[in-house]
């Protein structure tokens, strides 16, 4: 097995050859990049957790919570934007005309 420093040196050389200036980027950074990519593509956090070899999903969410929250916010914005584009006025009118009246209780129950 190659020594981690030699692997990091090889990675740094490859980044330099590609004119990518990422100080402090190392092989473990690739793990974080991998998780970010999977989450950005809608990857399931449970599947990602197993892929990383974590014993439970709590470990994954602990270390990658910032990404989980970031992508949850993106999904929330997508959902809101999807609903903004809908014209639901006719559906609301149809609901108002078809809903049945609610029967209300006409007696009181006393609890002593």
CA–CA gap between residue 51 and residue 29 (Å, rounded): 16
Question: Per the domain annotation, does 63 fall within a domain?
Answer: yes
User: Is residue 16 domain-resident?
Assistant: yes
Q: How many domains does the chain have?
A: 1
- Domain annotation covers residue 104: no
In a domain, 103, yes or no: no
Which residues make Cβ contacts (< 8 Å) with residue 26, sequence separation at least 6? 8, 11
Token pair for 84? 């903004």
Would 108 be classed as within a structural domain?
no
| Residue 73 forms part of a structural domain | yes
Predicted TM-score of the model (pTM) = 0.56
Residue 110 located in a structural domain: no
Which residue has tokens 């990049």? 33
The whole domain housing 74 covers 4-98
Is 106 among the domain residues? no
pLDDT, tens only, 14-49: 999 999 998 889 988 999 999 999 988 888 889 999
């Amino acid at each position: 097995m190659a020594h981690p420093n030699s692997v990091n040196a090889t990675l740094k050389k490859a980044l330099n050859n590609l004119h990518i200036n990422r100080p402090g980027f190392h092989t473990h950074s690739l793990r974080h990049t991998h998780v970010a990519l999977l989450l950005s593509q809608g990857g399931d956090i449970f599947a990602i957790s197993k892929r990383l070899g974590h014993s439970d999903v709590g470990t994954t969410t602990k270390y990658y919570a910032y990404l989980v929250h970031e992508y949850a916010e993106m999904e929330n914005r997508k959902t809101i934007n999807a609903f903004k584009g809908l014209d639901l006025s006719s559906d609301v009118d149809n609901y108002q005309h078809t809903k049945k009246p609610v029967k209300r209780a006409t007696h009181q129950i006393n609890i002593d």
